Chains A and B, each alone.
Chain A
Amino acid sequence: MNKVLISVLGSDQPGIMAKVASVIKQHNGNIENLSQTLLDTVFGALLRVELAADDSAEKLQEALSHSFAGLDLFVRVHPWNESTTDWHQHKPETQPYIVTAIGPDRQGLVAEMATALFEHGVNITNIQAIFKGGKNPMDNLMVFEVDVPRSTVMDALRDALADIAQRLDLEISVQHRKIFESVSNILN
């Protein structure tokens, strides 16, 4: 077991994944899983890699840094011992909900929402933000995909979010994910 986590961040351009994967291949490493995303023009990738027995995070970091020299990218290699948090070890039974906040962007919005969700035992699985400005409410929207444990009192969570909505002049709704799925996925 010689695993590492690799993060790659920076301006998007062709060839980033090709470079990362080629260096890993040269080191006889194996990519076990990966995910990449784009935030406007910013690229971000996360890879979990099994290294050869005689290799190390430091050596791979050196090789990747060398390969990316001159490109405006941040690469970090972290040793990874597969330890999991309490949440994963004792994951409660959850229901998937979608929390949406309609209204203009403002400082502290994510902090307030995320803290309220955390205080009610809710885990955020994905956040999407759409802030295009203007008057169309659908152009000023934050979407939190969350897992809500059975122990969470929904009314208390709704009250906490309603309080934020009032203070920050937002329209917040909490809807079970199934309604979005059944309306969107006609072919399933």
Chain B
Amino acid sequence: MLSSKDIISTLQMVREENLDLRTVTIGINLTDCVSDDIKTFKRKIYDKITRTAGQLVATCQRIERRYGIEVANKRISVSPIAVVGAPFNADQMVEIALTLDKAAIELGVDFVGGFGALVEKGMSAGDRALIDSIPQALTESQRVCSSVNVASTRAGLNMDAIKRMGMVIKEAAEMTAKDDGLAAAKLVVFSNIPQDVPFMAGAYLGIGEADAVVSVGVSGPGVVKAALERAMNEEEGLDLSRAADVIKQTAARLTRAGELVGREVAQILGLPFGIVDLSLAPTPNENDSVGEIFEAIGLPAIGAPGSTAFLAMLNDAVKKGGAFASSHVGGLSGAFIPVCEDLSIAGSAKNGTLSLEKLEAMTAVCSVGLDMIALPGDTSAEMISAIIADEMAIGVINKKTTAARLIPAPGKQAGDHVVFGGLLGEGPVMKVNLGNQENRFVRLGGRIPAPIQSLVN
């Protein structure tokens, strides 16, 4: 017999606190589709994706009914296209993106990720072609997401690639000017990218992964906030040690729900189960915000002094709870702090409590990085590269994943409002210090060497 307390707390998580399975993502390896003929390659990847993930949406809907938990997104991640499509030029890369888009629409999945390259140490012809094609590919497609890994702790920072990505982001935003630069919101630059992320825009299937694998991304900032609020109301003398415990236990429960669903989807589809990625990923809705957790713990707002310390604790407690609940936790696992996707964070950015500089400091202890940040349209490509370089350096030195998803909104100035719609949300344009100036440091190019792994201080 289940206790009524257990039943009520599970019901509450689903009904009131926005527990959802943010995504069930099938990773599909495309290395066996390789061809130097573009038509053959396109046909092969379309066939393999639609064959492997043909039942994904129907299966997720079946599981949703069975457990009464919404699977908010169904997604696909593929092998890095710059690797499997290495023989092709930039125009052909755009055709590949549109083929991925067509497959996603045919299957009814929300996003397909993996239109990306791994260039932390250098660029091949395929990498170069893919990166050149990104602005057009993301403008013409609807559901394709792109990620480019430009740095790692073992390789250092590829500043040539970072310099190029500043231009690519700028170009992508300008090609979608009427949508506030939407294409750039589907593009993310990484250091130390994990091979098994189910979340977008960074999802891709690493070369070391299986032929096809099911992974799950669980979210639930609302559940963590509610648990903290309950504990603070009910427990006298609750201190931060106890608060960390509450977060950890909540994370474990969320992870369990995710693993249950992920394993069942995998079993029905006859595919191996990969990982659960428990990430507090907000949506632009009340009660589904990471920023609100900061308020629940007693900070005046996210961005106030104390925010970095609490974020460090939150991120760590989420990881510990997840790792305890499942042996296969992977992806990003932690707390995201995207500006435009989170009502409370966007609010702090709008009223000046949260600056780009404070956000950068906080990314040193969050699970990803500078995420969904709208910048003034006149921010120079070099300055965008410089922001990326700063963010990548934090990841490289701290042996962690960091990322930058920056949207220089054409025609917009600091303080203006941008709207991307859906999960991507809306928010203020943030000020960039000296943003429209040149940056000769970035222009030097080359590589910033990999850091020493001893003398740790």
Contact = CB atoms under 8 A, between A and B. Distances in A.
A115 interface: no
B10 A183 contact: yes
A180 B65 contact: no
Interface in A166-188: 173-184, 186
**Among B2, B253, B325, residue most surrounded by chain A Cβ atoms (within 10 Å):** B2
A186 B249 contact: yes
Interface residues of B, number: 27
B273 to A, nearest CB: 14
A43 B259 CA distance: 41
Contacts, number: 69
B154 to A, nearest CB: 36
B11 interface: yes
A176 B66 contact: yes
A137 B68 contact: no
B417 interface: no
A184 B10 contact: yes
A183 B254 CA distance: 7
Contacts of A182: 256-257, 259-260
Interface string A125-143: 0101010000001100101
By secondary structure, the B interface counts as helix
A48 B139 CA distance: 74
Interface string B177-212: 000000000000000000000000000000000000
A183 B255 CA distance: 8
Contacts of B6: 180, 183-184
Contacts of B15: 102, 137
A141 B8 CA distance: 9
Given A98-B2, A145-B2, A138 B8 contact: yes
Q: Which 9 A-B pairs have the closest CB atoms?
A: A184-B6, A175-B68, A179-B67, A182-B256, A182-B260, A183-B10, A183-B253, A180-B10, A138-B8
Interface of A: 98, 100, 102, 126, 128, 130, 137-138, 141, 143, 145, 154, 158, 173-184, 186
24 contacts: A128-B4, A138-B8, A138-B12, A143-B7, A175-B68, A176-B66, A178-B67, A179-B10, A179-B67, A179-B68, A179-B69, A179-B260, A180-B2, A180-B6, A180-B7, A182-B257, A182-B260, A183-B9, A183-B10, A183-B257, A184-B3, A184-B6, A184-B10, A186-B249
